[in-house]
Amino acid sequence: MDVRLRLPEDPDGGELKQLYDWLIRDRELRLHADIALCAEHGADEGVDDEDETSDTTMGDLVDILALALDTGFQMASLGIAILAWRRAQRPRSSVVVERDGTRMTLSAGADPEDVEAFLRALERLDGTSSYRPGDPDGADRHPDDQPPEGDRR
């Protein structure tokens, strides 16, 4: 599965490069993903690409992180890696995660409820539901931390 990460309020790409460096050091991501720092043609958020009056041209490039994830990887693990980076680096930019045309955004000033909603949205992308409320940063959760099949409520 292909996933793209953007940091829209990071015009010089410094925070995106920090996130890239953080993610390539993550053991689980290294096992399940190819991660590349690259540029792609972008458009302004909320602007219809079909609109000929748009100020955005196809020549505009935006820096992104492109991840090619294998099928055994859970999106919540990516969310936890992003949250760990945010906790350690204190970035000023929001993080936008896009997969199959679906976008999830975690703002720079996200409160615990926003973090929980972000993790749940990531899990819905791959059909998992292991995130537990009350664990907003995921620091104490292991991906295999799920009750046996008969104990799920």
Q: What pLDDT score does 4 carry?
A: 94
Question: Which letter, b or e, does each residue of 85-98 get, where b requires 16 or more Cβ atoms within 10 Å of its Cβ?
Answer: bbeeeebebbbbbe
Query: Using CA atoms, how far apart are residues 94 and 86, in angstroms rounded to an integer?
Result: 10
Q: Which residue has the higher pLDDT, 127 or 130?
A: 127
Q: Are 2 and 99 in contact, with CB atoms under 8 Å apart?
A: yes
Q: How many CB atoms lie within 10 A of CB 78?
A: 26
- pTM of whole model > 0.85? no
Question: Which residue, among 36, 28, 104, has the nearest Cα to 72 in the 3D structure?
Answer: 28
Q: What pLDDT score does 140 carry?
A: 39
Q: Are 4 and 10 in contact, with CB atoms under 8 Å apart?
A: no
pLDDT band at 51 (very low <50, low <70, confident <90, very high): very low
Tell me the per-residue pLDDT of 81-120, one tens digit each, with 9 for 90 and over.
999 999 999 889 999 999 988 899 999 989 989 999 998 8
Identify the weakest region by mean pLDDT among 35-44, 115-124, 129-138, 141-150: 141-150
Q: What pLDDT score does 50 carry?
A: 42
Mean pLDDT over the full length of the chain:
77
Q: Which residue has the tokens 């096992």?
A: 31
**Looking at residues 5-27, what average pLDDT do you find?**
93
Q: What pLDDT score does 11 carry?
A: 86
Q: What pLDDT score does 95 carry?
A: 95
What stretches of the chain show up as alpha helix (H) in DSSP? Answer: 14-24, 27-32, 75-89, 112-126
pLDDT band at 128 (very low <50, low <70, confident <90, very high): low
Helix (H, G, I), strand (E, B) or coil at 99: strand
Query: Using CA atoms, how far apart are residues 153 and 40, in angstroms rounded to an integer?
Result: 43
**Domain chopping of the chain, boundaries:** 2-43+60-148
Query: Using CA atoms, how far apart are residues 16 and 134, in angstroms rounded to an integer?
Result: 28
**Looking at residues 48-52, what average pLDDT do you find?**
41
**Looking at residues 50-69, what average pLDDT do you find?**
65
- Cβ neighbors of 105 (< 8 A, separation 6 or more) are 94, 95, 96, 97, 118
Q: What pLDDT score does 30 carry?
A: 87
